[in-house]
Amino acid sequence: MSHVLFGAAYYHEYQPVPRLEQDLDLMAEAGFSVIRVGESVWSTWEPENGRFELDWLEPVLDGAHARDIAVILGTPTYAVPPWLARQYPEIAGERGSGRPIPWGARQEVDFTHPAFRFHADRVIRQVIGRYAGHPSVIGFQVDNEPGNELLHNHGVFQRFVDHLRHTYGSVENLNREWGLTYWSHRLSTWADLWLPDGNAQPQYELAWRRFQAELTSEFIAWQAGIVREYATPEQFVTTCIAYDRPAFDDSELTASLDITGANAYYVMQDGLTLPDTRMPTQAWTTDGTWAMYLSADRMYSSRQEPFLITETNASHIGFSWDSRPAYDGQWRQAAWAHVARGARMIGYWHWDTLHFGTETYWGGILPHNGVPGRTYRELARLGAEFRQAGDLLAGLTPDADIAVVLSVPSRWIMQKYPALSHPDGTGDERAYQGLVEPFYRGAFDAGLQVRLLHAGQLTFTAEEAVRQYPVLVAAGLYLTDDATLDWLRAYAEAGGHLVIGPRTGYADTEARARTDRMPARLADAAGVWYDEFSNLPAPIEVTAEPGTLDLPPGAAATRWIDGLQPDGATVLATYRHPHFGRWPAVTTRGHGRGRITHVGTVPNIALAEALLRWAAAGRATGWPALPASVTCTGATASDGRRLRFLHNWSWQPALVTAPADCRDALTGKHLPAGRDIELAAWDVRILAEEGTGQPA
């Protein structure tokens, strides 16, 4: 893409009063370059079985093309029409064996069922075949937010049994690999395999979740294959990912796509304030500036490539009980933050606030009266900036000061068998995130930029990893194979600083607890081991050993403690507690040309920031000495120029001293080194450092 795309989802078919020309004129005036259409209205495309009405979209595409607005056309498979549900009740998805998902929302079907596939294939070919050649269409979105359900249908279960048979070969082998002697679960035949509804065995759960993810990946790849029969090589295929969905692995699902597309919803207003002492639980919306950056880095991680934001906040998001539209300036801040981390499109959901349906109070760019207001004016300002700087920023590569390893299978298994608990003692289904997110937050607060790497993406050499990521964090990496653990060890040997967090290396890829001293295959190199651990119902103060870490007041351990036993490692920090004080909180040891640091707890905000600042000392690429409300995000433009995105996440203006000669990418103004750069409340400045790459 030669420029960053800017636009919204547009559903003219939802309008109570036709206003196509007016809408498109407003979009053009606001600097829109793209709209997303067609993915939610199968019953409009095909009102009755086999009767297609396709012409209604043509005026939208023609009008967009006349205004140089490109189009992403969606396949309408995620919301089936009533006639299909009525005539083919067997396609209903089941959340439990024999318990159909009630119809009336969306994503209620078993998308593996042949009857559904027949009709989905037919409508995809009708829609894409009709419009793939339209000059406005630059790409396609297949389905929408896939992986919403864990399907329990009879046919799905039988395919699961076949999958296990092909994977393990025999019931004897499955009995051994899953440890089915336990609780008298040994199988005598494949017909003995029990339904997933009552399953309590971790090995079964993991296999079931992997299988469900494979079904979703196959479904998306199937649709992408159909679309590519009609698409030109210049047109891309994507989907719209909601990362909280249970039945997919994004690194596998996106393999059949040309580019990742995803949702980026975030809490606006005070949710974006810095400094921020909160550590809220994240959900389908992120809460906190750091979490919004985490969301963007998560999108980049899927393919280790730039991505499209197919949906993000137009105004207040969610439902009628939670209406918090952005403060002035926050739309600009969020959009440029996402671009800085690799977004090649900012697509708002959606153009018009709906007058009916579940999402009546999910705010669009235009309010219910259809008259452009504050949201439109703010986005029109942003659109002008995209026209000014979009070409410069389209090919940028985001900086990465450190890397954090991700494990989707570890998240799956901890959703049912969590390592962490809620304050009331019940299991925390977000235990995996609870182990990993504090380290990301610590890096963010320390002014570091993070690259998230799926464990399966650690395929380059350890030496190359050290060159790209001198610090690598592996926390919550509960399920992993020997090769990955050996790679982590080799990374430290090659000169990297490996930071190990709780639960890493504890189980193998079958969710079986390893027989090694923990952390498995890393204990000798780390110079520390443990065989005991404990949950923490309340935080415990952590203090640094003299001459080691610089810990601020309030540094504390939370939620978990590994009983670390040093065996050659240096103790950096300890717990102030009559029992847990016998064990160190943090140890470190040189290994080869690098170092391994073991953090035996979930660090609170203060401890996490101090640890990451120490681990990455001298490696941060951001500008130093920033006000507490200001972040500096770095990237490299395609022409080699160094870019800086300065954000002031506060009502109070701020000043930043430029350490290098810069040129403002939005105004063209020269800013000499040593000059104070003014940032207004909720402001963002985009600067190109002079003397790098081509002239600004």
Residue 240: inside a domain: no
Confidence band (pLDDT; 50, 70, 90) for 39? very high
What's the mean pLDDT in 365-393?
A: 96
Q: Are residues 671 and 538 in the same domain?
A: no
- Max Cα–Cα distance, the chain, nearest Å: 78
Q: What is the mean pLDDT of residues 154-173?
A: 99
- Please indicate, yes or no, if residue 20 is contained in any of the structural domains: no
- Looking at the structure, tell me whether residues 416 and 537 fall in a common domain: yes
Is 165 domain-assigned? no
| Tokens representing residue 274 in the block | 């810095």
Percentage of residues of the chain with pLDDT beyond 70: 100
Range of the domain at 554: 402-615
What's the pLDDT at 585?
Answer: 99
Query: Could you read off the pLDDT of 197-218 as tens digits, one per residue?
Result: 999 999 999 999 999 999 999 9
Q: How far apart are CA 298 and CA 284, in angstroms?
A: 13
* CA-based end-to-end distance of the chain: 20
pLDDT of residue 362: 95
CA distance linking residue 415 with residue 633, whole number of Å? 33
| Burial (0-12, 13-18, 19+ Cβ within 10 Å), 102 | exposed
Model pLDDT, residue 318: 82
Domain end marker among 615, 645, 666: 615
- pLDDT of 202 reads 99
Domain boundary residue, one of 615, 647, 665: 615
Are 596 and 652 contained in the same domain?
no
Residues 518 and 588 in one domain: yes
- CATH number of the domain residue 452 falls in: 3.40.50.880
Give Cβ neighbours of residue 183 (< 8 Å, ≥ 6 apart): 200, 201
Q: Kindly state whether residues 528 and 657 are assigned to the same domain.
A: no
Answer yes or no: is 178 within a domain: no
Shared-domain flag, residues 411 and 533: yes
Whether residues 567 and 674 share a domain: the answer is: no
Joined together, the tokens standing for residue 172 give 């004897």
- Reported as a single tens digit per residue, the pLDDT across 249-263 is 999 999 999 999 999
Question: What pLDDT shows up at residue 694?
Answer: 63
The per-residue pLDDT of the chain, averaged, comes to 98
**pLDDT digit string (tens) for 550-563?**
999 999 999 999 99
Mean pLDDT of the region 426-448: 99
In a domain? residue 375: no
Q: Is 107 within the bounds of a domain?
A: no
Question: Which of 582, 615, 648 corresponds to the end of one domain?
Answer: 615
Give the CATH number for residue 641.
2.60.40.1180
CA distance 455 to 168: 23
Examine the domain organization and report whether 531 and 466 are in the same domain. yes
Q: How confident is the model at residue 288 (pLDDT cuts 50, 70, 90)?
A: very high
Judge whether 84 lies within some domain.
no
578, 683: one domain: no
Do residues 486 and 438 both lie within one domain?
A: yes
What order of strands is seen across the sheet that includes strand 683-689?
397-398, 630-636, 642-648, 683-689, 662-664, 670-671
pLDDT at residue number 696: 42
Query: For 113-140, what is the mean pLDDT?
Result: 99
72 to 138, 171, 270, 591, 692: CA distances (angstroms): 6, 48, 33, 50, 35
Tell me, yes or no, whether 537 and 568 share the same domain.
yes
- How many domains in the chain? 2
What is the DSSP annotation of 27-93? HHHTT--EEEESTT-HHHH-SBTTB---GGGHHHHHHHHHTT-EEEEEP-TTS--HHHHHH-GGGB-
Please tell me the predicted confidence (pLDDT) of residue 2.
82
The predicted-structure confidence for 510-533, as pLDDT tens digits, reads as follows 999 999 999 999 999 999 999 999
pTM of the predicted model over 0.75: yes
Whether residue 565 is predicted with pLDDT greater than 90 in this model: the reply is yes
Which sign, positive or negative, has the C-alpha torsion 404, 408, 411, 413?
Answer: negative
Would the pLDDT of 154 be above 60? yes
pLDDT band at 695 (very low <50, low <70, confident <90, very high): low
Answer yes or no: do 600 and 634 share one domain. no
Is residue 243 domain-resident?
A: no
Q: Would you tell me how many other CB atoms lie within 10 Å of the CB of residue 482?
A: 13
Task: Give Cα 399 to chain centroid, integer Å.
Answer: 17
